[in-house]
Amino acid sequence: MSIDRTVVLGIGNTILSDEGLGVVAVERLRQMYTFEPEIELIDGGTIGIDLINFIEGTDRLLVLDAVLGGKEPGTLYHFEGEQVKKYFRNKVSMHEIGFQEVMALMDLREKAPREIVIMGIEPKFIELGTELSAEVEENMNKLLDMVVEKLSLWGFNVLEKAGKEV
């Protein structure tokens, strides 16, 4: 079985507290785990349409972001398949316009990822600050576990930095 290029993309603004949780998640993944070369971890920050340069032609895309789903702060979200299209229609992300444009442009150029997964957490605060709220912080490790589990289901071996396979 050939393993294709996979991108784990964290998006968000780290100076707006919980809004930056996708970027924080990618950084923690880098600190805690070792990934196969086919997996690229990208801090997409607030780049917007320029993200296309990093993710176009990717086989699988896993996006980490703050999700405004209207539930309690700290609620975990996981969207796949048709749920991803619904996610964009409902505009529950802080980055819906820029990221929607990236996805539409990749579709037009026929270079969209074969599979897209979006995972995130309902934010409590989106205000000036660099710390995550307690509600988001409490569920950050669960979010990271979800990412590792998905990568494993895609056939990748993910190792904790201590060398133990998860």
Q: Give CA–CA dist 125/57, Å, rounded.
A: 34
Q: Give CA–CA dist 96/149, Å, rounded.
A: 26
- pLDDT, one tens digit per residue, over 49-106 is 778 888 888 899 999 999 988 999 999 999 998 888 777 655 545 554 566 677 667 7
Q: Compute the average pLDDT of residues 29-41.
A: 94
Q: Compute the average pLDDT of residues 36-56.
A: 86
Q: Are 63 and 116 in contact (CB under 8 A)?
A: yes
Largest CA distance in the chain: 46
pLDDT at 80: 93
What confidence tier does 163 reach under pLDDT thresholds 50, 70, 90?
Answer: low
Q: Give CA–CA dist 3/20, Å, rounded.
A: 30
CATH superfamily of 6-160: HybD-like (3.40.50.1450)
DSSP H stretches of helix in 12-90: 21-32, 52-55, 82-90
- Residue 48 pLDDT greater than 80, yes or no: no
- pLDDT, one tens digit per residue, over 1-30 is 445 789 999 998 999 899 999 999 999 999
pLDDT higher for 98 or 138?
138
Q: Compute the average pLDDT of residues 130-158.
A: 96
Residue 137 carries which DSSP code? H
Structure tokens given for 109? 């150029």
Q: Are 10 and 22 in contact (CB under 8 A)?
A: yes
- Residue 140 pLDDT greater than 90, yes or no: yes
> Domain ranges in the chain?
6-160
Q: Are 151 and 165 in contact (CB under 8 A)?
A: no
pLDDT at 1: 40
Q: Give CA–CA dist 36/127, Å, rounded.
A: 36
